[in-house]
Amino acid sequence: MRNPRFLPFLVLLLCWLALPGAAAPARAQPGGAPVPVATEPVRVGPVPVEVIANGVVAAESVVSVRPRVDGQIEQVHVVEGQMVRRGQPLFTLDTRLTRAVLAQQEATLARDRAQAVRAQADAQRYQSLRGESFASQQRFEQAQADAAASAATVRATEAQIAQTKLSLDFATITAEIDGRLGALPIRVGNVARAGENTPLATITQIDPVLVQFAVPERWLGEIKAAMAERPPHVRARPDQPGAPAAEGELVFVDSSVDTNTGTILLKARFPNADMKLWPGQYVQVALVTRQEEAISVPAAAVQTGQQGRFVFVLAPDGTARRRPVELVRTVGDRAVVRGPLAEGDKAITDGAQRVADGWRVVERAAPAVAGSPQRVSSSKP
């Protein structure tokens, strides 16, 4: 073996053995027994064109709860992490001082109204006396001015009472949106002030939620065409084993392409009553832009050799036949291919590595595949 004359023959032998199925056909099928394989049918029909990307779940609305009046917290009606509805009471402030001010203002209003009634009566009386020349024009005008001033005083006091009642309403702090409460940094007994920066609580809208993701700008034309017909369908799957996908639709396409990354920002809205998605969570996104007629086979059936990709098909005579194919893209657990395949052909999915072109095979039931299918980015439009 150290003779250099044998090296070219050794290299040729190794290359020949490396070819898929090259060594096997040169000899008889082992034992002459058919090789057991599993098959799945080739499909010809509409297949979705998907744009695969990574996304982040974002709340559609986040509200910071802050007091609009000063006061000591008297009651906390909720707990941290609780789901709340719009209008539900969250906190109650001490209102004893405000109620005392309101009582004082109501008493002032009663006095002002009595004075206004008397001033109006004086104005009417001086008007009749002026007609009979018993009162001067100046005294009549003074009475009219007093009546108008008394009426204005009544309206001012009524406005003060309305403002005080509004402060009483603000003393009960309610939820402005439906959502989930965050941490509650302030407890009963603390004084809440309207000018403080620290919120009493934060409410995050959970249903529905948005998913933000970016796709290469080459998809922009196809996405715009899809949006012109109807909002494209979007699936979002949390990056967790066995996590189910959420179904939503595209609602936003950014007004410009990011020149630094060459991508465009998109947003999709998802119903989230079951809380599959959580704000801040990373998800795998599949945007379906359209459907197209194509040949698809199980992704496990596509093999790779030195001459390119191929699929073994179970022929009617019980032999495995090699079909060269071109892999276009994958959609879920199926591969979209181009090649000499027809609807209903049986593509060998399990056992293809143990057969060669022309070998006899026998079909058996396909084994169950655990877990979710691998998701692979689709090709260029």
pTM, rounded to two decimals: 0.64
Are the C-beta atoms of 348 and 330 separated by less than 8 Å? no
Residue 368: pLDDT over 50: no
Sign of the four-CA dihedral 17, 22, 23, 24 = positive
Residue 354 structure tokens: 């143990």
The Cα–Cα gap between 302 and 326 comes to 9
Spell out the residues 6+ positions from residue 59 whose beta carbon is closer than 8 angstroms to its own: 179, 204, 205, 206, 209, 210, 279
Cα–Cα distance for residue pair 252/353, rounded to 1 Å: 46
Which range has highest mean pLDDT (30-39, 124-133, 250-259, 355-364)?
250-259
Considering only 7-21, 128-142, 308-322, which range has the smallest mean pLDDT? 7-21
Mean pLDDT of 99-117: 90
Distance, in Å, from the CA atom of 223 to the CA atom of 267, rounded to the nearest integer, reads 12
How many angstroms separate the Cα of 35 from the Cα of each of 22, 29, 309? Answer: 17, 9, 22
Q: Is the pLDDT of residue 31 over 70?
A: no
Q: What pLDDT shows up at residue 351?
A: 81
Tell me the range of 23-32, 80-89, 110-119, 121-130 where mean pLDDT is highest.
80-89
Mean pLDDT over 268-286 rounds to 91
Looking at the chain, the whole-number percentage of residues with pLDDT higher than 70 is: 83
- Alpha-carbon torsion (62, 68, 70, 76), positive or negative: negative
Neighbouring-strand partners of residue 350: 38
Is pLDDT above 50 for 40? yes
Q: Cα-flanking dihedrals φ and ψ of residue 58, to 5°?
A: -135, 140
Q: Is residue 61 within 8 Å of residue 207, measured between CB atoms? A: no
Of 29-43, 206-220, 252-266, minimum mean pLDDT range: 29-43
Inter-CA distances, 111 with 108, 125, 133, 146, 164, Å: 5, 21, 33, 15, 18
Q: What is the pLDDT of residue 380?
A: 41
The β-bridge partners of 296 are 43, 336
Candidate from 137-146, 202-211, 339-348, 350-359 with smallest mean pLDDT:
137-146
Rounded to 5°, the CA angle 44-336-257 comes to 125
Say how far apart CA 124 and CA 147 lie, in whole Å.
10
- Spatial distance between the Cα atoms of 198 and 68, rounded to a whole number of angstroms: 13
Residue 60: Cβ within 10 Å count: 19
pLDDT at 148 over 70: yes
Question: Which spans in the chain are helix H?
Answer: 7-18, 96-131, 137-170, 220-229
Whether 321 contacts 355, CB under 8 Å: no
Name all domains of the chain by residue range, CATH numbers in brackets. 51-61+206-291 (2.40.30.170), 68-93+171-204 (2.40.50.100), 95-170 (1.10.287)
Cβ-contact 349, 366 below 8 angstroms: yes
Degrees to nearest 5, angle at CA 375 with 57 and 285: 20
What's the pLDDT band for 375 if we cut at 50, 70, 90? Answer: very low
